[in-house]
Homo-oligomer: A and B are copies of this chain.
Amino acid sequence: MKSDLEAYLRVARYRVDRALDAWLPGKGDAPGSIHEAMRYCVFAGGKMLRPVLCLAASDACGGARELAVPAACAVELMHTYSLVHDDLPCMDDDDLRRGRATCHKVYGEGMAVLCGDALLTEAFAVLAKAEGTERYGVGEMVAELALTGGSRRLIGGQVLDLEGEGKRLSLEELVKIHEAKTAALLACSVRLGGMSANATREELEALTVFGNSLGLAFQVIDDILDVTQTTEKLGKTAGKDAAVEKATYPAVMGLEESRKEAVRLTGVALDALAIFGEKGTGLREIAEWMLVRDY
């Protein structure tokens, strides 16, 4: 990773981390058990990709970063809730996440359901504190997050994923799942960052193309890493997809073609950044790094 990108990521993560820490109730707030569980899940050393993309999109549109922080916190909370619920025994049944025991392994299933519910609710609570801009009211931003998190996108993708286990899916079906489950929230992250910066409709459209394409590339790479990396490196159970016969890019199009597809999708994402010029540097470098990441 380039050292200037490393600094960029560190600064952005620190900012979101600090904001989440200030926002979330402490272990001292009653009931302490759920606040402990929420913090266990949120402060687990994740990549914080979505909030960083949100802030970088604000940069690309020339916004003041501070105004994008509520949206950045919101997308990270929504992502974390979705992991907590997806990991439940009645869903993907995973024991390991971000290098440690999943929420329900530590706090029990009932608490993990409630913890996910609370993180989802906090996503909207923190976003409601956004100021809104000339072009975008806070209601529009909340509607954007809710549409993304809802039954046609994020949750719908998990439904398709559950229903697709053990079945042979076509490439088209696989793309549909990943668009809903992964790409939608990445696109939402950059769109909310752009909206916080009062982006023009043209800029917002460019961010949408960028986010959707990068999101698909991200998932292709995730699928590749699942078969090429170790559990230790990934911080989650490697080889899981094949074990439960889940459709993945390598399974559908082979490893080599999957790598080419990730490069192609990243190219589409990078092309969409043209209109931002120099201000798009943060988004560009993150996209390039995501292509070569190994965890």
Residues on A lying within 8 angstroms of B by beta carbon are 25, 29-31, 33-35, 38, 81, 85, 88, 90-91, 108-111, 113-114, 116-118, 120-122, 124-125, 127-130, 132, 137-140, 142-143, 145-147, 149-152, 155-156, 158-160, 162-163
CB distance from A294 to the nearest CB of B (A): 31
A interface: dominant SS: helix
CB distance from A91 to the nearest CB of B (A): 5
Q: Which residues of B lie under 8 Å from residue A155 when comparing CB positions? A: 34, 114, 117-118, 121
Q: Which residues of B lie under 8 Å from residue A110 when comparing CB positions? A: 88, 90-91, 162
- Whether the Cβ atoms of A120 and B122 lie closer than 8 Å is no
Query: Considering the chains assembled together, what is the distance between the CA atoms of A109 and B113 in angstroms?
Result: 11
Query: Considering the chains assembled together, what is the distance between the CA atoms of A122 and B40 in angstroms?
Result: 27
Q: Which residues of B lie under 8 Å from residue A29 when comparing CB positions? A: 152
CB distance from A1 to the nearest CB of B (A): 35
- Whether the Cβ atoms of B143 and A129 lie closer than 8 Å is yes
CB distance from A195 to the nearest CB of B (A): 13
Q: Which residues of B lie under 8 Å from residue A159 when comparing CB positions? A: 31, 33-34, 111, 114
Q: Which residues of B lie under 8 Å from residue A142 when comparing CB positions? A: 124-125, 127-128, 138-139, 142
Q: Which residues of B lie under 8 Å from residue A147 when comparing CB positions? A: 125
Query: Considering the chains assembled together, what is the distance between the CA atoms of A162 and B25 in angstroms?
Result: 20
CB distance from A64 to the nearest CB of B (A): 18
Residue among A30, A38, A125, A127 with max Cβ neighbours from chain B (10 Å): A125
CB distance from A71 to the nearest CB of B (A): 13
Q: Which residues of B lie under 8 Å from residue A35 when comparing CB positions? A: 151
Kindly report which residue of chain B lies nearest to residue A114, judged by CB atoms: B155
CB distance from A114 to the nearest CB of B (A): 5
CB distance from A44 to the nearest CB of B (A): 18
A35-B151, A138-B138 known; A113-B90 Cβ under 8 A: yes
CB distance from A30 to the nearest CB of B (A): 7
Q: Which residues of B lie under 8 Å from residue A151 when comparing CB positions? A: 25, 31, 34-35, 38, 114, 118, 121-122
CB distance from A119 to the nearest CB of B (A): 9
Q: Which residues of B lie under 8 Å from residue A81 when comparing CB positions? A: 117
Residue among A142, A152, A162, A163 with max Cβ neighbours from chain B (10 Å): A142
A118-B150, A139-B132, A146-B125 known; A113-B113 Cβ under 8 A: yes
